[in-house]
Amino acid sequence: MIFAAILAGGIGTRMGLDKPKQFEIVGDKPILVHSIDKFLKVDEIDKIIVSSPKDYIETTEKLVEDYFNKNERIVIIEGGETRNGTILKSIEYVKAHYDDADPILITHDAPRIFVSPELIKKSITNVEAHDAASPVIPAIDVIFESKEEGKLTDIPLRKNLVHSQTPQSFKINRFIDLYSTLNEEEINKLDEAMMLFFLRDGDISLFEGEPANFKITRNIDLIIAEAYLTENKD
């Protein structure tokens, strides 16, 4: 079976909003609705797991009811305190409710509302022969490394650098096996699923992402997203 975890457990403190950013209206719909809608268009996905901050579970449930009429493919769970915690809770939900020999989990940042169904399908296709898979796009800018505050410590070759995106996919049982080998220090390093597979030499497939698949992180991103939606109305 194939599951999708839409990661919407944050509360948007970086943007200074009065509510988690996944509820911010972009175009004519909340950010979270845009993302859920894209995943519903991929028939290969059996269940869409939407994480929510504890204090906003009822709000999320109402949103899903209003926009998707209690679609049975969507389930809402409480997110974790960290991104990794939310991924673990999504895995726990799958293992507790489904008995599948080799389930796949697709993780996606809710604020990446311009992901295409085609990219989601590519994520599924790429993980089938690997432990994990992630879309990437080439780095455009020169990247400075600074291991000491205010100091330039290295300039990696741009041709070797790529930006990671989501949806990232992985085989759940492989994730569990590798996670069980981590020590506390390694667990604290995890800020996304690909880090686990990297730390344990997992087989990660990188495939071409989409330039439009940016993450709404700053207030200016809301303006860019509005403009992009206006420009690309059906």
Domains of the chain in start order, with CATH, are 2-136+164-231 (3.90.550.10)
More confident residue, 1 or 18: 1
CA-nearest of 83, 225, 232 to 168 is 83
Query: pLDDT (tens digit, 9 = 90+) per residue, 17-47?
Result: 678 899 999 999 999 999 999 999 999 999 9
Q: Is the peptide bond preceding residue 167 cis, with omega within 30 degrees of 0? A: yes
Tokens 């409480």, located at residue = 78
Check pLDDT > 80 for residue 200.
yes
Neighbours of 227 (CB within 10 A): 10
Residue 231 has pLDDT above 80, yes or no: yes
Report residue 13's pLDDT band, with 50, 70 and 90 as the boundaries: low
The pLDDT tens digits for 172-193 are 999 999 999 999 999 988 888 9
Angle, helices 117-127/31-40, rounded to nearest 10 degrees = 60
Q: What is the DSSP letter of 218?
A: S
Residue with tokens 């650098």: 161
Is the pLDDT score of 16 beyond 80?
no
User: Could you read off the pLDDT of 113-163 as tens digits, one per residue?
Assistant: 999 999 999 999 999 999 999 999 999 999 999 999 999 999 999 999 999
Instruction: State the pLDDT at residue 10.
Output: 66
The secondary structure of 149-195, three-state, reads: CCECCECCCHHHCEEECCCEEEEHHHHHHHHCCCCHHHHHHCCCHHH
Instruction: Give the tens place of pLDDT for each residue, 43-89.
Output: 999 999 999 999 999 999 999 999 999 899 999 999 998 999 999 99
Question: Which is more confidently placed, 26 or 100?
Answer: 26
pTM, two decimals, is: 0.93
Task: State the Cα–Cα distance between residues 168 and 189, nearest whole angstrom.
Answer: 18
